[in-house]
Structure 1
Amino acid sequence: MKRDLKPRSITALVTGIAIILAFGLVFVLPERLYSPPWGMLPPEIAILFQIKVFITTLNFLLLLTLTAIYITLYRDLPNKYTRSLLLLSLTLLLYAFTSNPVVQVVFGFSPRPDIGVFGFLPDLFIGIAIVVLLYQSQT
């Protein structure tokens, strides 16, 4: 009994799983892993850092899925267009990985002091574009 899911359902399912995993990571990690070393953050700033960690982790997880889809597509149809899609997704994957404050701290750097909505708003827009690409790759 094979069940075929529609592209919208697959995109929603993958996005939902990535949201749950990203929320889990934000709540499991101690705050000291993504806060600056100079001490405790005010609650407003700590929330902004948590939002940044959530969005960049979500983008990373979605891009892992998108990269896997493009690898499969490239194996089935190796041409310049699919190679470009694969390169684009790998580049965005590296961007999402390196812009995550947790990764910056793990590699010995203090997180960037992007305070305010504009610290994570560009990542939110990239996340929307990733979901659109994920949907388009299913059709």
Structure 2
Amino acid sequence: MDHHEGLRETYAGEWQGLTNAEIRARYPEQYEAWAKGEPVRRGGGELATEVADRSVPVVLAAVEKLPVDGTLVVVSHGGTIRTMIGRLLGMEADLWERFGGLSNCCWSVLGQGTRGWRLLEHNAGTLPQPVIGDET
């Protein structure tokens, strides 16, 4: 297993560590623009396209090393994964938010076809449920 700096969470500058209410109170114009889907450097941080610029090459380099019919598992943060998916699918950046958030412990599945990458599953999976009789 390798750790890659390119797969880190989106850097949100001065928004880092703030609650949604604090961000709205301190940066109302930036927040409003971001909420409308405009490309915004939240708190002076990264644009979604910059996150894709640093994360997608990590994924593509790993894919190149896979054996035939191999599987690559990429673990990262929801926002970073969303930008990777959008870029790999060739979508315009203003459409990436349409994927919605990626819930904790869930995953997306992409596959390569003759016409490029395809989204096979998004936000899939559930947390394990207790088995009947395992109650303590």
- Where on the TM-score scale, by shorter chain, does this alignment land: which range? 0.3 to 0.5
Point out the structure with the larger helix share: 1
TM-score, structure 2 length as denominator? 0.33
Query: Bigger relative contact order, structure 1 or 2, given CA contacts below 8 A and separation 6+?
Result: 1
Point out the structure with the larger strand share: 2
TM-score, structure 1 length as denominator? 0.32
